[in-house]
Amino acid sequence: MTASSPLPPGPRTSPLRSALDLRRDQLGYLRHLRAAYGDAFRVRIGPREVLMVTHPDAAREVLVTQATRFRKGRGIQKMQDFLGTGLLTAEGQTWRTHRRLMQPSFHRAALSGMAQDIVQATRPTHAALLNAADSGAGLEVGSEMLRVTLRAVASVLFGTGLTDEELAVVEAELPPLLDHTASRVRSVVDLPRWLPTPAAQRSAAASRALDTIVARIIAARRAEQEAGTPGNDLLGLLLAARDEEGGGLSDRELRDEVMTLFLAGHETTANTLTFLLLLLSRHPDVQGRVRAELRGVLGDRDPTAADLPRLPLLHACIQETLRLYPPAWLVPRQATAPVRVAGFDLPEGAAVSVCIYLLQRHAAYWPDPHAFRPDRCCAASAPRTRSCRSAWGRACASGTTSR
């Protein structure tokens, strides 16, 4: 902080006490600090002090208007061990180049063509849910959602290029790798990367197994591309992507983006689906309306991409789930130059985090902010819809233009 700038408000506490408070109830502790100190407050996370911002205007400062004065935070940097330099971890010109190359692969028309693959990937889960309902047996929904999203992402990424044996390896090896990565991201004490802990060794073995599979598929798809048949799955689209000079992604860059897409499209989507099902189970009235909407649009047939605009209530339920339980609920950044955020002057190296969880439960934008009320995001609720779009448009959606 500069001498002329007030310090951000925050508790006077020791690193140990702060660590215990965060460990006991991380989100509850942050909610308490926001209530006590306002939309921008200082919190100690291990040996570091972090400016936590929870208002759309401050989020926009960090993620958009002053994005060039920040780099991605330490937690995201730790993911490079597994993800390499994909969109999630890349910075600056590398990020911009990769985003330009990859963006056409995510246009609506391209994704619509993959809808049937996603539907096909859900069939085992659909059968498991029906069986659990008929038999009265319990089903661990979180684990089942992880399985279905992994199958869907693998199908969309690789089409038929992934054998059943390789899919079994991915299903076995990806979870421990993600668990170890998440543990390193959350840790406030960085153990040396070379330390051969059991988790580190298991993670390294899993990474090697996945790299072998991805390298084989990329090599095979390169050969198909040279023969004029690159495929219309996501990997085929990425292989065909070219910049203004005609250059594309190297094998290493493709590997990093594939691993990033596994992470971004697998665990985060599974978490959202799990929370969606939890919220619908707790609100049987909304669940009944969603069932009626689905029956009215689909009847007994499979869904298609063309059905999505005809399911506004289901869409609103997903949006409200993402508001209450954002998968990426914290966006860490580190200042690369002196910068002013939320009225506070920060020095180079200062840690700042945008708390999406608290931002999306801000009472100024969402009445009764902790309640599951999907109607607030439906077109039939115009004033609340404008409120939702105001906050999301100023902060959450702004992340699409940040590094």
Specify the pLDDT at position 190: 65
Give the C-alpha separation, 379 to 382, whole Å: 6
pTM of the entire predicted model: 0.85
Give the C-alpha separation, 208 to 35, whole Å: 46
- Torsion, Cα 189 190 191 192, to 10 degrees, reads -150
Q: Which two tokens stand for residue 330?
A: 């914290």
Specify the pLDDT at position 137: 83
Specify the pLDDT at position 356: 97
Specify the pLDDT at position 399: 39
DSSP alpha helix (H) spans, 227-302: 234-240, 251-282, 284-298
pLDDT tens for 243-293 read: 778 788 899 999 998 888 887 778 899 999 999 999 999 999 999 999 999
Low-confidence residues of the chain: pLDDT under 70: 1-6, 186-194, 230, 378-403
Nearest of 364, 390, 398 to residue 60 by alpha carbon: 398
The domains located in the chain, with CATH, are: 15-401 (1.10.630.10)
Specify the pLDDT at position 189: 62
Give the C-alpha separation, 148 to 153, whole Å: 9
Q: Tokens 């004490």 — which residue?
A: 189
Give the C-alpha separation, 206 to 135, whole Å: 36
Specify the pLDDT at position 20: 82
